Structure 1
Amino acid sequence: MKSTLLKGGAAIIAIFAVFILSLPTIMHQAGLHPEYTGETHQLPAGMRALIVTTSHGVLNAAGETTGDPTGIALSELTHPYYSFLDAGMQIEVASIKGGQIPVDPSGLGRVMISPEDKRYLNDPILLAKVENSLNIDNVDFTAYDAIFLVGGWGAAYDLGYSEVLAQQISEAYYGAKAPLMGSVCHGALGFINVKDLGGNKLIAGRAMSGVTDKQVKELGIELTPMHPETELRKAGAVFESQTAFRDVFATHVAIDAEQRFITGQNQNSGMETAQKMIAIMVRK
């Protein structure tokens, strides 16, 4: 009897160990960080992209200053960054306050980490850009062909509140380069207060995507001050998304009729969003 119990216990432990080892593959097959299999392009020399991130690194409720560490979702930086880089673009990285960009440590766990994230960990150039990002106050947004806003829970605390970011994006939108505007997940919050020349919301009536209220609720992180789906709808955007049994496994990219705003739903959408931006730049 004792021998049978020991064998049964060993079998259960072995099955559990196999499950743990297989978990990254299971999550990937379920939809987390899908492989991009669409078209890729090379851009003419000299084209530039600006990637903008949060400077907020604490997951705290209103009125509180302490909480779990957060910041950018790492893949939402690395997937567009390497897409732009491999297409031949020059890339600068800026944040709301400049300096070190907070990186959500959960993105470095063995289940969440992606090949691009591992590339980042061995890339002294991007590591240095994250360690010492530009301050958006000191960046000429009109000098870029593409502007991309990174998500992550930290973005809920500052991107949508930054008057400087909204003004910079508005000026770039009407500038001579007419850059494409991209975002992923919470990054879309950086667009909600951008105004057109008449003082109206620039994204009103445009197809836009960002993390869904359903995903926020499913993950149990509702304490952040802004939720992209809610705020995009308030700003008059035509919100688009896909759903799954859990939205963390869904993905969608929305492109407005003018093909100026290309926005990805969540952490699974960054690479496709960037590649669609590149394809539009090639056609233009």
Structure 2
Amino acid sequence: MKRILMILTSHQQMENTDSKTGVWLGEFTDPYYEFIDQGYQVTLASPLGGKPPVDTMSELTEHVTGANRRFTDDEFAQSAFKHTHTLVGLSATDFDAVFFPGGHGPIWDLANDELSAKLILEFFDLDKPVAAVCHGPAALIKAAELSPGLLAGKKLTSFTNTEEKLVGRSANIPYKLEDKLIELGADFKSALLPFLVNVETDGLLITGQNPLSAGPVAKALIEVLEKEIESEF
């Protein structure tokens, strides 16, 4: 059985506003059920442990996905979400891949979390895939600081500057993720139009641009893991 570690944000405060952020629920639930339906075991973790904050915007009717509704009735998943592990003591040796959902929170906490960064580097060192969607790729920032050149020339994506502007939160964040990843040497890719599905795979690194890309990123990760299984025979 394949084991996936999903690392969620613990951060909810935004700048210059009373609005809160946190996990964008569909970016967790869509991949979660892609993994579960494939028979994978999923472990949830976050910097502070316990229940991560949820961006209330992601619970509005227009953003609710089928996976969100499934999650509402899933007592096991609800309990796991309320009791996420902390990152202390986690090791890439115990998992086959790591996945970082978005929501704006990661640009504050996961972007600066050394334990998360060391886990990412450990996954890469063990030739295990790292996947992230929307603002989840912010977790790569600290990893690139610990391992200079990590993202140099790497084809990847994240929530774009244009999308940030269109959702009206540009004034409430400390930096734009697209700019930061490019500064770190990434070969940043985006869809032709904002909010279209976009998944980029570069070796062991799999990234998605926005909420609609969350499920497709999970499917791309599953493809990578299934190819590994085939290569073992």
**TM tier relative to shorter chain:** over 0.9
For 2:145 and 2:177, how far apart are their aligned partners in 1?
Answer: 20
TM-score normalised according to structure 1 size: 0.76
**Structure 1 residues 54 and 149: CA distance shift in structure 2, 3 A:** same
**Structure 1 residues 135 and 201: CA distance shift in structure 2, 3 A:** farther
For 2:3 and 2:177, how far apart are their aligned partners in 1?
Answer: 27
Partner of 1:181: 130
Identity of aligned residues (%): 31
Find 2:37's aligned residue among 63, 81, 86: 86
Larger-gyration structure (1/2):
1
For 1:141 and 1:76, how far apart are their aligned partners in 2?
Answer: 22
- Aligned partner letter, 1:265: Q
Residue 58 (structure 1) shift: 2.1
Partner of 2:213: 269
For 1:122 and 1:260, how far apart are their aligned partners in 2?
Answer: 33
Aligned pair count reads 227
Q: Which runs of 5+ in 1 are unaligned?
A: 1-45
Aligned-residue CA RMSD (Å): 1.6
Q: What secondary structure is seen at the aligned counterpart in 2 of 1:192?
A: helix
For residues 101-144 of structure 1, the C-alpha deviation after alignment (integer angstroms, 9 at most, x for no partner) is 10111111111101000001111111111111110123223311
Find 1:114's aligned residue among 50, 53, 65: 65
For 1:143 and 1:283, how far apart are their aligned partners in 2?
Answer: 19
Residue 165 (structure 1) shift: 1.0
Q: What secondary structure is seen at the aligned counterpart in 1 of 2:212?
A: coil
- Aligned partner letter, 2:168: G
- Aligned partner letter, 1:105: T
Partner of 1:201: 149
Partner of 2:231: none
Partner of 1:53: 8
Q: What secondary structure is seen at the aligned counterpart in 1 of 2:63?
A: coil
Q: Which runs of 4+ in 1 moved over 3 A?
A: none
Please tell me whether the aligned partners of residues 194 and 203 of structure 1 are also in contact (alpha carbons under 8 angstroms).
no
Find 1:278's aligned residue among 218, 222, 228: 222
Residue 99 (structure 1) shift: 1.1
